[in-house]
Amino acid sequence: MNALLLSALMGVVMMFSGIVLKSKAAIRNIAIAGMLALLLVNILEMNGTVFLVIDSKGMIGFDRFALLFNSIIFFSTFLYLTLSARDMEKVGVNYAEYLALIFFILCGIALVSSFRSLIILFLGIEIISIPLYILTGSDKLNLKSNEASLKYFLLGSFSTGLMLMGIALIYGAKGTFYTSGINMVNGAISPLLIAGMLLLMFSMAFKVSVAPFHFWTPDVYDGAPTVFTSFMATIVKAGVFIAFIRLFDEGFASQQPKWKLIIAILTAATLLIGNITAVFQQSVKRMLAYSSIAQAGFMLLSVYAMSPDSKEGLILYAAAYCMATIGIFAVLIKMSDYTFDGFNGFAKQQPLLAAVTTIFLLSLAGIPLTAGFMAKFYMIKAAMYNSGLLWLPILALVMAAVSVSYYFRVIQAMYFRESSTPSTLTVTPAFRYTLVALAALVVLLGIFPNLLLAWLYF
């Protein structure tokens, strides 16, 4: 509850800071300080200090899992702001407002990570979506950004319509919006419940870009300003995933035989489409968009397995994926050319940046000694132990191998190709140090994943 209130408050503070303060550096510093405060109060809540106790009548429940997840999200956003907040200035003139919208989105993520009632889920998803439509279209002079925003908006509100129909049908079957009430089995299963569950599943699949509902993702991620793509593809995606797993864990656990196979098929389709299409991309930004679809497939394995193991796996996966992708995007934003050729000879010009980017790419590909490897390992292990379907973990393994090919293309370009143009890249020392710290963290989590997971229990 601490983080929820503070993030809303910070949003308002950022709005006013745009009027009062003229210096962009001051606005940025307030945002970063606010982010740290947000992380701090959330960790305090994990230790039992709640500043304001609000009785939400059981609609919101901050449990250990949700709080740890929020901490990861806030920490990633903190890193994101330190690395990339400077680049938001180039997008448009409304600098303070962009930061305010980011804080509002974090408020939405805090809601969806801890909902106990479908009302909160709906409001949370909308609080996430509406600012995202804006951030996608924030580069107003760029036609691509406008188009991406319109496309995202139309498809997003369409899927909200489907979600609401699902919620209405579930309400008709169960007479309540509480997930605990929906999970209760009394008498025969109503067809209304099944129809509602499917509609809800499809709309959630749309929001996290699971195939075959992924078609908007590459265009929107490609069209949006790169700084905001970084935010959308990492923090927001992980945030909606936690809603997904919570919904199926708490709301539909008793219907498991009914949805398990459908989730398995969605997972397989996502893994296949995401990984195979990513191989053929020419732009690194678009490749990362498809890679985010592929990674969504791995995260969906945790919904499929649905066990304590898989929840641990999702926590680790969210952390590994967010940190690595934020790092890559932070470097990508500085580049002038987003194609693979733009990375040619990068290792000679910027040896340090090339080295950390390599670590991030290795982590995304799931090479041992990186966080990504442990995350994939937890996911596939959970799927192995908790399913009757052996082909799904095997497919995931094969697809992890396929993913190596497109991540290595970037490494190959950086180290084994010669650049034709001299580098124009300028980075501050602070940027360098943060990136190195981030890379160190990725390696550290890859060796000792329990550093993170221990928080779940103590």
| DSSP string covering 275-288 | HHHHHT-SBHHHHH
How many Å apart are CA 6 and CA 324, to the nearest integer?
A: 27
Output 94 or 307, the one with its CB closest to other proteins. Answer: 94
Of the candidate residues 138, 281, 291, 370, the single one contacting other proteins (CB under 8 A)? 138
Our finding on whether 141 is near other proteins (CB under 8 A) is yes
Opening angle at CA 103, ends 101 and 96, nearest 5: 55
Range in contact with other proteins (rule: CB under 8 A) among 38-46, 78-86, 120-128, 326-334: 120-128
State which of positions 13-32 bind other proteins (CB under 8 A): 15
Count other C-beta atoms under 10 Å from residue 406's C-beta.
Answer: 25
How many Å apart are CA 127 and CA 159, to the nearest integer?
A: 15
Our finding on whether 101 is near other proteins (CB under 8 A) is yes
CA distance to 231, 267, 287, 290, 432, per residue, from 211 (Å)? 21, 8, 16, 11, 36
Our finding on whether 190 is near other proteins (CB under 8 A) is yes
Our finding on whether 284 is near other proteins (CB under 8 A) is no
Interaction mask 378-417, other proteins, x per CB under 8 A: ----------------------------------------
How many Å apart are CA 310 and CA 155, to the nearest integer?
A: 30
The tokens of 246 are what? 């919570």
Of the candidate residues 20, 33, 50, 93, the single one contacting other proteins (CB under 8 A)? 93
Range in contact with other proteins (rule: CB under 8 A) among 75-83, 152-160, 231-239, 316-324: 152-160
Our finding on whether 251 is near other proteins (CB under 8 A) is no
How many Å apart are CA 331 and CA 84, to the nearest integer?
A: 9
Helices 64-84 and 237-246, packing angle to 10 deg: 170
How many Å apart are CA 18 and CA 193, to the nearest integer?
A: 47
Range in contact with other proteins (rule: CB under 8 A) among 192-200, 300-308, 331-339, 364-372: 192-200
Min separation Cβ 290 and other proteins, Å? 13
Min separation Cβ 242 and other proteins, Å? 18
Min separation Cβ 101 and other proteins, Å? 6
Of the candidate residues 20, 50, 119, 454, the single one contacting other proteins (CB under 8 A)? 119
User: To the nearest 10°, the Cα dihedral for 232, 316, 35, 126?
Assistant: 40
Output 74 or 152, the one with its CB closest to other proteins. Answer: 152
Would you call the peptide bond into 212 cis, given omega within 30 degrees of 0 as the criterion? Answer: yes
Our finding on whether 175 is near other proteins (CB under 8 A) is yes
Token pair 């649905």: residue: 306
Our finding on whether 200 is near other proteins (CB under 8 A) is no
Three-state helix/strand/coil letters over 433-450: HHHHHHHHHHHHHHHCCH
Our finding on whether 262 is near other proteins (CB under 8 A) is no
Opening angle at CA 421, ends 415 and 422, nearest 5: 85
* Overall size of the chain counted in residues: 458
Output 94 or 183, the one with its CB closest to other proteins. Answer: 94
| Cβ atoms of 1 and 45 closer than 8 Å | yes
Output 191 or 368, the one with its CB closest to other proteins. Answer: 191
Of the candidate residues 16, 51, 158, 280, the single one contacting other proteins (CB under 8 A)? 158
Min separation Cβ 362 and other proteins, Å? 30
Interaction site with other proteins (CB under 8 A):
8, 11-12, 15, 54, 56-57, 59-60, 92-94, 97-98, 100-101, 104, 107-108, 111, 117, 119-120, 122-123, 126-127, 130-131, 133-134, 137-138, 140-141, 143-144, 146-151, 153-154, 157-158, 160-161, 164-165, 167-169, 171-172, 175-177, 188, 190-192, 194-195, 219, 222-223
